[in-house]
Chain A
Amino acid sequence: MADDGQPTALDVVDLATGTFLATARLARRAVEVSLRWTPPVVFDAGRAGASLVTRLAGDLPNRLRDEGAAARETVLASAEERLLAAVRPVLDLVLDQIDLTDLVIHRVDLNRILDTLDLTDLVIHRVDLNRVAEALDLNRVARGLDVDAVAARLDIDAVINRVDLIGLAEYIVDGIDLPRIIRESTGSVASEGLREVRTRSIEADQALAQFVDRLLLRRRLSGGSRGAGAASPESAGLAASNGAPGSPDTTTDGSRAD
């Protein structure tokens, strides 16, 4: 009983249960009294009848339970369907009355949500960057860049100060074979000088030989001036000994031996 004296639903259930139990006790007492006064013949006949009924209706509880379960599921399904049908219009009606965007903006702490997200990882794994790149008009972006302004903002001196110029110079010098360059340049100079001396000496040989030939009233040998170098059969042997073409048997240009 409630404090204010009014019966609750639980009190009603308890009252019904108590009434049922009292009725059951009375029914049991009545059955026992009647059985006590019943003749044995009737008693035997009753037991035979009960046995028959039990045998005939042994699975009645199971059938009643299955039937009850089916009825319950049918009722639940029907109730769910009707409930959803009733909720959707109501929900739409409610959402129509609410500005969710404004609600999220003013009521949700977006910074806290962002703190829990790894946006970089999200972009890398969830965004198709290739498609994004394809969609970008890079030429337009490049045209919009003020390269001169960027260059003007560069601190070249700071960059140079950070570079190890001495080390870089040493690295470059190490990569250059200076001794070889010096060798080649001096060799070239020496070669030029030698070539000049040799050429002049050949010319002097020719001039002197022509002078002597004129002095001795000799004809010049075939194949050019004697001073230009009388052909020697030995030179063929030299050529052969050095792997150059030629044969020791090759003769001179027919000049007379001394």
Chain B
Amino acid sequence: MQTDDQALGPASAPPSTPPSTPESTPPSASPTVPHVPGSAVPAEAVPVQGRRAGVVSRVLADTVDALVVVAALTAGYLGFAAVKFLWKSWAFTWPTPSFLLMLVLGAVTAVAYLTVTWSTTGRSYGKHLIGLRVVGPFGRLGVPGAFVRATFCVAFAIGIFWVAVSRENRSVQDVVLRTSVIYDWLGGHDVPSPAERAARRG
């Protein structure tokens, strides 16, 4: 179930809503990333905001998303078992789905979850925790783009490790679909543009 940028399971809350994470930091008039008490971006992390993330961060985020998908599948399994128990409790036995069925269900769940999250907030729950965001060539991915990328990531999960080799920190999916996964601790607000980063580098 390992995928590039993979995240499986129910959608998390939009990253701009939880107050406890830096993604919820309100926009600032400052051209640089603001340091908001309680949710500020540390000085050492400011320069990398908006840059493509490395393989460690992406694998961590995908691991969290994989756990989310496993949790979702488990919840679905228990829900199905509960319905089955209520329906025929005298003949109840635990469901024993085949591995192939679980694989297909997991893949479908993951694709649906990633499509929804990438096309809306641009980040699954795992990317929300790690502070990453999926973007397309022209900004946030649309539903078709998110669906294609999610399908590609689920079907060819090992492609994420190309990030370690790529000089642009791009996975196979990113290279083919011209997408990127960037550091974005503030949920897309006040992320410095490449032009501003270049100006700061002077």
Contacts and interface: CB of A to CB of B under 8 A. Distances in A.
A198 B130 contact: yes
A231 interface: yes
A242 B189 contact: yes
A74 interface: no
A226 B47 CA distance: 13
Given A208-B164, A209-B54, A238-B133, A248 B139 contact: yes
Interface string A196-227: 01110110111011001000101001011011
Interface in A100-138: none
Interface residues of B, number: 62
A231 B191 CA distance: 12
B38 A187 contact: yes
Interface stretch (A45-53, A146-154, A165-173, A249-257): A249-257
Contacts of B143: none
B189 to A, nearest CB: 6
Nearest to B28: A244
A237 B56 contact: no
Contacts, number: 212
Interface residues of A, number: 56
Contact of A244 (B55, B170, B178, B189): B189
A187 B51 contact: no
Contacts of B183: 202, 229
A224 B54 CA distance: 13
Interface stretch (B67-75, B89-97, B194-202): B194-202
B165 interface: yes
Interface of A: 183-184, 186-188, 190-191, 194-195, 197-199, 201-202, 204-206, 208-209, 212, 216, 218, 221, 223-224, 226-248, 250-253, 255-258
